[in-house]
Amino acid sequence: MISIDDISSAATRLRGVAVETPLIRCAELDQVAGGRIYVKPECLQVTGSFKIRGAYNLLSQLGEMQAKNGVVAWSSGNHAQGVAAAGGMLGISTAIVMPEDAPKSKIENTQRLGGEIILYNRYEGDREKIAKRIAAERGASIVPSYDHPHIIAGQGTVGLEMMLQAQAQDTEVDQALVCCGGGGLIAGSAIAMKSLNSDVKIYPVEPICFDDTARSLCSGQREKNHQNARSICDALQTESPGEITFPINKKLLEPGLTVSDDDVRSAMRFAFRNLKLVVEPGGAVALAAILAGKVETARKTTLVVLSGGNVDYKLFSEIMADGD
């Protein structure tokens, strides 16, 4: 359903909207990995995560009546901010269903960007049902957080940028590690990357308790996470892989990697101290996999996506202090 042409078209729409984040290296990280590691810091993106890419790509293609009636989305925070920001740019009203325990900074930033917030209990409520009910009442369009062709194509511009930036540096890429929740970012990125280099290996990385994609890749069917699962990686707490994203990922990805919350905390500290970057828990899982030795990196060139940097000050301070 999604081709490299769709992703290239999304890149054109996003020109001047999304930031082309750099591809950077760090001597300390190369030393730990025993190879060359290139980091894509989407924590420096508009709204602090890659989500603006998919949100703007979808909203910018709405018809006149659809745009007039507004949109409804559901999100733990990063997609919420992306939708609110895109809506503000395009003059489209936005309402987002968010968990009441979402990081305070994500809720406040979404409101600041013009989004209407509807809170719910993530462990008792069904965010999709709530959003679809509101959309039906208002005649609004739904903007899924990952399971939509336009969202996937927009997120795929991350992978397209990485490969073109690596090519510009005369770098042959062996593998890439990308965080995975519902699978939109890695599905789109995998399409783009495989189109430019069919030999590149792409690994999804998830928190241990939210490893639905890893288990699904093993079983060949969409698996669900346990309702009692918990993690500090709020951005990656999806119930199961997407209906659209999973067939793509099943075809293109390597086996899934998982990291613990402690691995994530260590990666956040490493990013701050060595890369001088603030990365949120869900945005740090791919880096955590490198640092924890979850994949062979010696004498290889590896791309790593830091997908977001929207973390509450209190949590970030606690994690930094724990490493002192």
Per-residue pLDDT tens digits for 293-314: 999 999 999 999 999 999 999 9
Residue 34 pLDDT: 98
Residue 122 pLDDT: 81
Domains and their CATH numbers in the chain: 4-50+149-322 (3.40.50.1100), 51-143 (3.40.50.1100)
Dihedral sign for Cα 123, 125, 128, 130, please.
negative
Catalytic residue from among 40, 51, 194, 201: 51
Q: Which helix (H) or strand (E) holds 99?
A: strand 94-99
Dihedral sign for Cα 210, 212, 218, 219, please.
positive
Neighbours of 179 (CB within 10 A): 30
Could you give the 3-state DSSP secondary structure of residue 185? Answer: helix
The tokens of 220 are what? 């060949």
Cα three-residue angle 194-195-199, rounded to 5 degrees: 40
Closest residue by Cα to residue 306 from 226, 221, 235, 209: 235
Residue 197 pLDDT: 97
DSSP state of 235: G
Confidence (pTM): 0.95
Listed as ranges, residues in the chain with pLDDT below 50 are none
| Active site (annotated) includes residue 93 | no
DSSP state of 100: T
- Helix 51-59 to helix 149-168 angle (10° resolution) is 130
Residue 322 pLDDT: 86
Residue 127 pLDDT: 87
Torsion of CA 106, 110, 111, 115, to 10 degrees: -150
d(CA 70, CA 173): 41
CB 222 within 8 A of CB 241: yes
| Active site (annotated) includes residue 106 | no
Residue 76 pLDDT: 83
Q: Which helix (H) or strand (E) holds 8?
A: helix 4-14
Please, which residues have CB within 8 angstroms of residue 43's CB and are 6 or more apart in sequence? 49, 277, 278, 279, 280, 283, 306, 307, 308, 309
CB 268 within 8 A of CB 319: yes
Residue 126 pLDDT: 87
- How are strands ordered across the β-sheet holding 71-74? 116-120, 94-99, 71-74, 141-143
Residue 324 pLDDT: 60
Catalytic residue from among 49, 60, 75, 76: 76
